[in-house]
Chain A
Amino acid sequence: MPSLSMTINGKQVTKDVDPNTLLVQFLRENLSLTGTHVGCDTSQCGACVVHVNGKSVKSCTMLAVQAEGSDVTTIEGLAQGDELHPMQAAFREHHGLQCGFCTPGMVMSAVDLLQNNPDPSETEIREWLEGNICRCTGYHNIVKAIQAAASEMRR
């Protein structure tokens, strides 16, 4: 079993894993970071989105060994202690979630959007969320939350 090292939410982690372990399994099962969800087996829903070296990816469609040496951020790594990340705070404030299942992926995807485009239009937000499916909200409040977080983060 190969030994695998990466930085997860700022902490260095080293574990032995089978090569056929997906990054999402590694996070959830080996490290008990269950904030990252699995909502499909077709790489389409985006519930599993995390950042690898600063870019959003679907952790259900990446092997843990492919993240060797990388810097990984999950939903658990966004808040600073008790203080929510502005994107998390905006989702709460604007009711950007109902059941919450899609939320970790939505938030991680949205944070990546603002890294690329700090002032996205509504259309740009909706296009960016192409890979994140929500069964509850109808997206409207998700878009509102991202707009609010964007203006908060630009201040």
Chain B
Amino acid sequence: MYAFEYHKPSSVEDAVAALSGKDDPKIVAGGMTLLPTMKQRLAAPSDLIDLGGIAKLVGVREDGGALAVGAMTTHAAVAGNDLVKSRIPALANLAEGIGDPQVRNRGTIGGSVANADPAADYPAGLVGLGATVVTNKREIAADDFFTGLFETALEEDELITSVRFPVPQKAAYAKFANPASRYAIVGVFVAQTDGGIRVAVTGAKGSVFRVAEMEQALSGNFSADAVAGIKVPADEMNGDLHASAEYRAHLVTVMAKRAVAAVG
């Protein structure tokens, strides 16, 4: 790993200040993605700004009809949180299915969302629930946040402080996991929300996406049969050694059926 300067601010303001005027600063949260890339010398930030000293960024609280999850809340903490388990059990489930226990003990929602890995689980949860990403500067709807492969709407000096999830009537997440890493080969999040039915897919393309045709079909008839005949085209799907584009396209329908069945 190349050398860098280490900073551990104790407030969001100090973190933002620490980001400015540096060559190539990077935020570190759980480090579960950033540190492996630095170890392999694929990233060489000049400065690391560790958010681990900002107590305000940790925890879950009620916020109107929504749950606000602090950016530094670990996957294990979300999975084990009583509010999340009682109000949005599908989200607790999603967090519980990320990686392995040690990844869940360090990895954070803010890090996962900022990283926007095409195979990450949280993007499906955020878009599926119609969540809002809250930063030090503004609020961004999840639908507008994930802009491409490892690309988000975040600006250079912007950091995620929390994610606000409206509580759905019902929801479920079904993932076909990579057997080695547990990342999603395809994951589908289905929710009945105040704004209608939402179907969000991760793992299949460069970035999370919604399937309008499935959402419409489910609005008329909320059953696994309603989506069973809906196929998504394989053209833009990811293909790799784990699964071909055609197989991923097939899995989108299968996992959507399973998620709908799990919603009940």
Contacts and interface: CB of A to CB of B under 8 A. Distances in A.
Interface residues of B, number: 29
B106 A61 contact: yes
Nearest to A112: B101
A46 B6 contact: no
B81 interface: no
Interface in A11-55: 18-20, 22, 41-44, 46, 49, 55
A63 B31 contact: yes
A128 B182 CA distance: 13
A71 to B, nearest CB: 14
B7 to A, nearest CB: 9
A66 B52 contact: yes
B98 to A, nearest CB: 10
A43 B103 contact: yes
Interface stretch (B35-43, B139-147, B207-215, B224-232): B35-43
B101 A131 contact: yes
A62 B76 CA distance: 17
A62 B35 contact: yes
A57 B105 contact: yes
A109 interface: yes
B214 to A, nearest CB: 30
A93 B140 CA distance: 56
Contact of A128 (B2, B4, B101, B181): B101
B102 interface: yes
Contact of A62 (B3, B31, B38): B31
B17 interface: no
Contacts of A43: 32, 35-36, 103
A10 interface: no
Contact of B3 (A18, A42, A60, A131): A18
Interface bin, chain A: 20 to 34
B85 to A, nearest CB: 15
Contacts of B6: 2, 19, 63, 65
B100 interface: yes
Given A20-B1, A44-B180, A130-B182, A58 B102 contact: yes
A130 B35 contact: no
A12 to B, nearest CB: 20
A43 B8 CA distance: 23
22 contacts: A19-B5, A22-B1, A43-B35, A43-B36, A44-B180, A46-B102, A49-B102, A58-B102, A60-B39, A61-B31, A61-B35, A61-B36, A61-B106, A62-B31, A62-B106, A63-B28, A65-B50, A66-B31, A113-B101, A130-B182, A131-B101, A132-B100
Interface of A: 2, 18-20, 22, 41-44, 46, 49, 55-58, 60-63, 65-66, 68, 109, 112-113, 128, 130-132
For the complex of A and B, list the 8 residue pairs with the smallest distance between their C-beta atoms, beginning with the closest. Answer: A131-B100, A19-B6, A130-B100, A20-B1, A55-B105, A58-B102, A131-B102, A61-B35
